[in-house]
């Protein structure tokens, strides 16, 4: 699929902000199943400093600094991405039991380092807790392959949890969302990751977008979508010990399925704290309001809308005094 993504973040401050520095993860990744065709990041008011650098996990991190007083900030990321259904490498040991994967990631002196090891440990939004272990056990059947464990946990969470945007905040602990059995995609991703890590297996957080379909006969609403989050589970390759050629398989507990060509990967990290779309340090602006609008649509819909948009624009120009 060829998808067009617009992600607009709008802040309004009172009193105005005097100076600010921001980091943004808004540029989609290039992966085996995803090609970034184009990307543009517009910032208003224009920043005094601006740069882009890769972070530890290969995501593009944009930095910009505002040195003039401002009472609003609008950041608009516009991307075109070509996607395909992710396919696991044939080198992945898909049938390897989860206990064998856990053994590969136990610490051993002088063992070969595997980069996936970093995703076994707790992180700011994914702590260790016995409640995660208790919930995970029903999926971690002895001898079950890791892929099947992940698929079973994905489907269980889809059935057990209710999507409720008003039930949690960004900083709601994952163990609290687990207890109440409701939350949003961020909560579900953190819970699933915590289940894997408490059992000794690597899992990471994926942020991105999902193409949603409007009701039959209704147009797609601009800005009505939201960013999405899911989970990536590591499957080692054949051979003994870590360091072999493995791969990551994605699972979406919010929708009870594996991501396909209708998903766009934005960034990967240990949890939300590594890949938050926008964060900043401000001088001033004691209060603020935030509005985020995301629109994901096939490029064909965008092209079809262009002649109408131009006609409307030309008509407005003629009517203007």
Q: How far apart are CA 82 and CA 276, in angstroms?
A: 23
**Mean pLDDT of all residues belonging to the chain:** 91
How confident is the model over 45-75, as pLDDT tens digits? 999 999 999 999 999 999 999 999 999 999 9
How confident is the model over 138-155, as pLDDT tens digits? 999 999 999 999 999 999
How confident is the model over 285-314, as pLDDT tens digits? 889 999 999 999 999 887 766 655 444 444
Check: CB of residue 255 under 8 Å from CB of residue 184.
no
DSSP-assigned letter for residue 147: H
196-204 average pLDDT score: 97
Check: CB of residue 146 under 8 Å from CB of residue 208.
no
End-to-end CA distance of the chain: 43
From the list 209, 211, 247, the residue with the least C-alpha distance to 228 is 209
Residue 246 has pLDDT above 80, yes or no: yes
How confident is the model over 128-139, as pLDDT tens digits? 999 999 999 999
Predicted local distance difference test score (pLDDT) of residue 114: 84
Check: CB of residue 236 under 8 Å from CB of residue 242.
yes
Q: How far apart are CA 268 and CA 29, in angstroms?
A: 9
pTM: 0.90
SS3 category, 53? strand
Residue 239 has pLDDT above 90, yes or no: no
* Strand spans (E) along the chain: 2-27, 34-44, 49-54, 60-66, 70-83, 162-163, 182-183, 203-210, 228-235, 247-251, 263-269, 278-284, 287-298
């Amino acid at each position: 699929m060829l998808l067009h993504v617009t992600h607009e973040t709008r802040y309004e401050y009172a009193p105005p902000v005097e100076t600010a520095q921001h980091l943004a993860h808004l540029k989609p990744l290039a992966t085996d199943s995803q090609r970034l065709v184009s990307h543009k990041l517009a910032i208003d008011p224009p920043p005094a400093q601006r740069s882009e650098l890769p972070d530890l996990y290969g995501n593009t991190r944009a930095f910009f600094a505002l040195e003039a007083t401002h009472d609003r900030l609008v950041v608009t990321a516009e991307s075109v991405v070509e996607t395909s259904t992710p396919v696991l490498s044939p080198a992945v040991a898909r049938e390897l039991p989860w206990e064998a994967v856990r053994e590969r990631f136990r610490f051993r002196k002088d063992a070969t380092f595997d980069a996936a090891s970093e995703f076994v440990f707790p992180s700011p939004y994914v702590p260790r807790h016995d409640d995660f272990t208790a919930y995970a056990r029903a999926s971690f059947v002895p001898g079950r392959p890791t892929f099947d464990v992940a698929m079973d946990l994905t489907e269980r969470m889809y059935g057990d949890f209710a999507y409720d945007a008003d039930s949690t905040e960004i900083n709601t602990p994952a163990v609290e969302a687990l207890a109440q059995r409701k939350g949003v995609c961020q909560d579900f991703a953190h819970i699933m990751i915590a289940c894997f890590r408490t059992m000794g297996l690597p899992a990471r957080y994926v942020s991105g977008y999902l193409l949603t379909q409007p009701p039959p006969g209704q147009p797609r609403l601009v800005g009505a979508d939201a960013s999405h989050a899911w989970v990536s589970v590591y499957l080692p390759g054949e051979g003994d010990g870590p360091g072999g050629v493995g791969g990551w398989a994605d699972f979406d507990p919010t929708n009870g399925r594996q991501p396909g060509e209708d998903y766009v990967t934005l960034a990967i990290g240990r949890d939300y704290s590594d890949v938050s779309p926008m964060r900043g340090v401000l001088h001033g602006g004691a209060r603020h309001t935030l509005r985020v609008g995301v629109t994901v649509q096939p490029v064909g819909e965008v092209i079809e809308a262009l002649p109408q948009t131009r006609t409307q624009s030309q008509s407005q120009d003629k009517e203007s005094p």
